[in-house]
A and B are shown apart, each in its own frame.
Chain A
């Protein structure tokens, strides 16, 4: 062993020996293990609980929003709310003033509309195939129904030939049928 080894050896041993280590027992270590496990469990619970609570919040929010929409739509259409606020699903009913009261069941709405549009479009247009015809449509209430109507109506026009080649838009509660191509 060289001289530097001796010097290092002696210094390190002196340094190591100058402090007493008495504290701590295996019981302390076991407590420490328990604390570590609790901490890990707590972190895991937090990691699982936060997304879970968020998901529950989102679901509740969606259900609330959906319920509100249905309620306001039913109220706007003159539908009578029942005790549990569930709107009727009868679709279309004629009122005394011939206004179509609609609660959104797209198929029945569109069936009624199709016949109205057919009559108006074909009978009143200057050119029966090209032009714009506006059908008064007082039953529409709010964007919810308008959107639904557009989607449903487009679907129907593909199965019937009533408005093939027509673009359909809903503006301010009126159904506008624009013929964009000539039907042979």
Chain B
């Protein structure tokens, strides 16, 4: 297992933490990049989104009540923006070969890509960030009931596609 895999497998449990910008950056950069990578599928764009999120948060860092949550929301918004631009640019789903393809063919990831964006975000936040329903609801700005229903629909759809 590589170092990065180990980090990923340790789980990116979301522990609210209020620290200075540098330590927060060091602590969150990689987990957020991985989360963004699961949503935008390319390493460069994932890093770009995360850096941009920190650049947005840095000038107002002292005023933020929950810097971790703010940055995470910025990253999710950035991922949505990337997906929206792709959709506008091509008016069709991104060709499979334009993305960083998994080292091993993974039907789950393929099925995950085909999920609607909100459902995909909920799945990533739940299964990669290990967030609770309440945390997901707060991050995405939706009701807890919506989180539960989205997660349920996403899992049903993934199950159907994998069978």
Contact = CB atoms under 8 A, between A and B. Distances in A.
Contacts of A23: 47
A9 B123 CA distance: 9
Contact of B155 (A4, A11, A33, A37): A4
Contacts of A7: 108, 162
B136 interface: no
Given A19-B4, A24-B51, A29-B51, A14 B106 contact: yes
B155 A18 contact: no
Contacts of B56: 36
Interface string A1-35: 00011011101111111111101111011101100
Contact of B8 (A8, A16, A25, A36): A16
Pick the most buried of A13, A16, A20: most chain B CB atoms within 10 A of its CB. A16
Contacts of A5: 127, 155
Contact of B109 (A9, A11, A26): A11
B33 A18 contact: no
A30 B51 CA distance: 10
Q: How large is the interface on B (under 10, 10 to 19, 20 to 34, 35 or more residues)?
A: 35 or more
B4 A17 contact: yes
Interface residues of A, number: 27
Interface in B90-121: 100, 102-104, 106, 108-109, 112
A18 B5 contact: yes
Given A4-B159, A21-B30, A29-B54, A13 B9 contact: yes
Given A18-B5, A21-B30, A32 B51 contact: yes
Nearest to B52: A32
Given A17-B8, A18-B102, A19-B43, A29 B55 contact: yes
B38 A15 contact: yes
Which applies to chain B's interface (DSSP): helix, strand, loop or mixed? helix
Nearest to B128: A12
Contacts of B106: 11, 14-15
Given A15-B38, A16-B38, A33 B59 contact: yes
A19 B25 contact: no
B144 interface: no
Q: Nearest 3 CB-CB pairs, A to B? A: A17-B8, A11-B108, A17-B5
Interface of A: 4-5, 7-9, 11-21, 23-26, 28-30, 32-33, 36-37
Interface of B: 2, 4-9, 21-22, 25-26, 29-30, 33-35, 37-38, 43, 46-47, 50-52, 54-56, 58-59, 100, 102-104, 106, 108-109, 112, 123-124, 127-128, 155, 158-159, 162
Given A12-B124, A17-B7, A21-B47, 19 more contacts: A8-B127, A8-B158, A11-B109, A12-B38, A13-B9, A15-B38, A15-B102, A16-B38, A17-B6, A17-B9, A19-B4, A23-B47, A24-B50, A26-B25, A29-B58, A32-B55, A33-B55, A33-B58, A36-B55
27 contacts: A4-B159, A5-B127, A5-B155, A7-B108, A8-B112, A8-B127, A12-B112, A15-B102, A16-B35, A17-B6, A17-B8, A17-B9, A17-B34, A19-B4, A19-B43, A21-B4, A24-B50, A25-B25, A26-B25, A26-B54, A29-B54, A32-B51, A32-B52, A32-B54, A32-B55, A33-B59, A36-B55
